[in-house]
Amino acid sequence: MARFKPVDMNPRFLPIVLEQQIQPGTFEHALNVLIDTEFDLTPLAARYINDVTGAPAYDPSVLLKIVLLAYSRGIISSRAIERACRENVLFMAISGDTQPAYTTIASFIRHLGDQIANIFTEVILICDRRGLIGRDMFAIDGVKLPSNASKARSGTHAELAHQADAIERRVRQMIKAHRQLDKHSQEEQVAAQRKAEQERIHVLQTEAQSIREFLRTHRKRTGDESGKGPERKSNVTDNDSAKMATGKGVIQGYTGAATVDAACQIIVAAQAHGSGSEQSLLLPMIEHAQPFANKRTVMTADAGYHSEANLKQLHDKGIPALIADGLMRKRDERFKEQAKHKNKPDPLANKKPISKALSSGKFKPTDFHYDPVTNTCICPAGKKLYSNGINNIANGRIYRKFVGAKSACMPCNLRQQCLRKPDTTKVRQVAIFRKNQTSPLKHTDSMKLKIDTTEGRAAYGRRIATVEPVFGNLRYNKRLDRFTLRGQRKVDTQWKLYCMVHNIEKLAHHGYAR
């Protein structure tokens, strides 16, 4: 019978030199050298006033090392970071075996505030001195992440007031049922049930009070700075966050925006915004990145950032840019065959072939009879459609919009041929474009001409290969799947810390401090 060496799992006292655990060429070595020799942490140290009295504090440089190392390892929880400082030799080495409590770590992150912006800028300047910023092209994009906020506590002021009314009505019903139970039951039979109900009533009362207090202390959020536009939804738990539509549903969170240089994928600007509107983020991101750009640096962004107002400001400031519009791919002959693939079923979810009846046979706008003199539109069933706008603009073209009436569309026998989703769509809408007429969107038109050239497409094609790997590194390698803080300022701090980790990792890979 074979014999093997024994496996002894008993404890050992091993001689470990903590300094030797930080090896040159690694992320932790670059981090250690950066914080000890490059960063100016005087503003962080100035927050402590225990020169004469008070207990000794943890060195802010040590805390910053711990947090950045933890984020580089995908550890975001303060309790998990505290446990790593007790159990992980690498964290012991980077912290000098100080082992701060999770409350100390969490408080340090929350109160970094504006100081983190200066440290983030110092990292970028070091990357620039190392020749990692090419200034040829900057790619701007954002990633939507959920935050530490309840989506259920989001709504307009009227909706939140309705929620509070519903909670208070539920509390009154529970109290009434509780009193009835006291009248007809013995004390020993209902003691446990009464205790559980009292706890539930207390939770509901606290929740209703928090909503009422929020409505009393917060004004309605309007759509723009002038106070006009529809009311934006507020959130009781984190009013700086916003509801955002993503590919996996609606989340309550923030957009982490980044401007990335194409040479070595260095993040030259980073901001977290509680807004799902990408158009409003374009100019602030370009402004933050301008100190690291030159006159030839081309700013690129996808169609979500495209608007005539943005293009006009870029033109007025003389900033070279390639901002795609919504129909850019449709004009690109390289994607002329993409339409046929959209009708294909998901190969992982549905193996059945698509029905020909579902992919063809629908009425097109050319099947509707439009009379420009009387401004009337007649559908294939002979019904008149209502005019719903005569000077609408889409991609620089002017069109008239017509909508069918419910009384005519709902009982119509041609619904299957007229509507893509006849079970859910009530009426048909038709857009009639004017021939040989366009709107005066000169900046949009000039951008189309620029981006549709061979050089423009080649330059814009580098955008996705520049910025998307950065988000992949942060979301999957560093496991940033949500923000754990509340408030735009604190979330922005956490986003900048993660972007710093990415840049320091680039420095380590390019031989910094070896």
**CATH number of the domain that residue 325 is part of:** 3.30.420
- C-alpha–C-alpha distance, residues 363 and 365, integer Å: 7
- Together in a domain, 143 and 246: yes
- Together in a domain, 376 and 400: yes
Residue 408 lies in a domain: yes
Six-digit token string for 111: 């109160």
- Together in a domain, 319 and 458: yes
Residue 512 lies in a domain: no
Q: What is the pLDDT of residue 439?
A: 52
3-class secondary-structure state, position 144: strand
- Together in a domain, 223 and 247: no
Q: What is the mean pLDDT of residues 251-257?
A: 93
Q: What is the pLDDT of residue 339?
A: 64
154 and 243 Cβ atoms separated by less than 8 Å: yes
- Structural domain for 39, as ranges: 18-111
Predicted confidence (pLDDT) per residue in 479-497, tens digit? 999 999 999 999 999 999 9
- Together in a domain, 52 and 106: yes
- Together in a domain, 49 and 173: no
Tokens 């690291």 label which residue? 292
3-class secondary-structure state, position 255: strand
Residue 344 lies in a domain: no
Q: What is the mean pLDDT of residues 333-360?
A: 55
Q: Which residues are paired to 138 by β-bridges?
A: 261, 299
Residue 288 lies in a domain: yes
381 and 365 Cβ atoms separated by less than 8 Å: no
Residue 425 lies in a domain: yes
Q: Which residues are paired to 143 by β-bridges?
A: 256
- Together in a domain, 50 and 178: no
Six-digit token string for 259: 């401007």
- Residue 436, pLDDT > 70, answer no
- Cα angle 453, 455, 457; round to 5: 70
Predicted confidence (pLDDT) per residue in 46-74, tens digit? 888 888 888 899 999 999 999 999 999 99
DSSP state of 223: S
Residue 514 lies in a domain: no
pTM (2 d.p.)? 0.78
Report the half-sphere exposure of 464 (CA within 13 A, side-chain side).
6
- C-alpha–C-alpha distance, residues 349 and 280, integer Å: 37
Using pLDDT thresholds of 50, 70 and 90, give the confidence band for residue 361: low
- C-alpha–C-alpha distance, residues 75 and 82, integer Å: 10
- C-alpha–C-alpha distance, residues 329 and 257, integer Å: 24
Q: Which amino acid is at 433?
A: F
**Number of independent structural domains in the chain:** 4
Tell me which range, 134-143, 182-191, 380-389, is most confidently predicted by mean pLDDT.
134-143
- C-alpha–C-alpha distance, residues 275 and 268, integer Å: 21
Q: What is the pLDDT of residue 354?
A: 43
- Together in a domain, 24 and 107: yes
Higher pLDDT, residue 351 or 391: 391
- Together in a domain, 28 and 175: no
Q: What is the mean pLDDT of residues 296-317?
A: 92
- Together in a domain, 369 and 424: yes
Six-digit token string for 53: 């009295």
Measuring CA to CA, which residue among 415, 407, 361 is closest to residue 384? 407
| Residue 84 buriedness (CB in 10 A; 0-12 / 13-18 / 19+) | buried
- Together in a domain, 22 and 107: yes
- Together in a domain, 226 and 250: no
Residue 383 lies in a domain: yes
Neighbours of 113 (CB within 10 A): 13
| Contacting residues for 185 by C-beta, under 8 A, at least 6 apart | none
Strands 392-394 and 298-301: unpaired
Q: Which amino acid is at 103?
A: T
Residue 491 lies in a domain: no
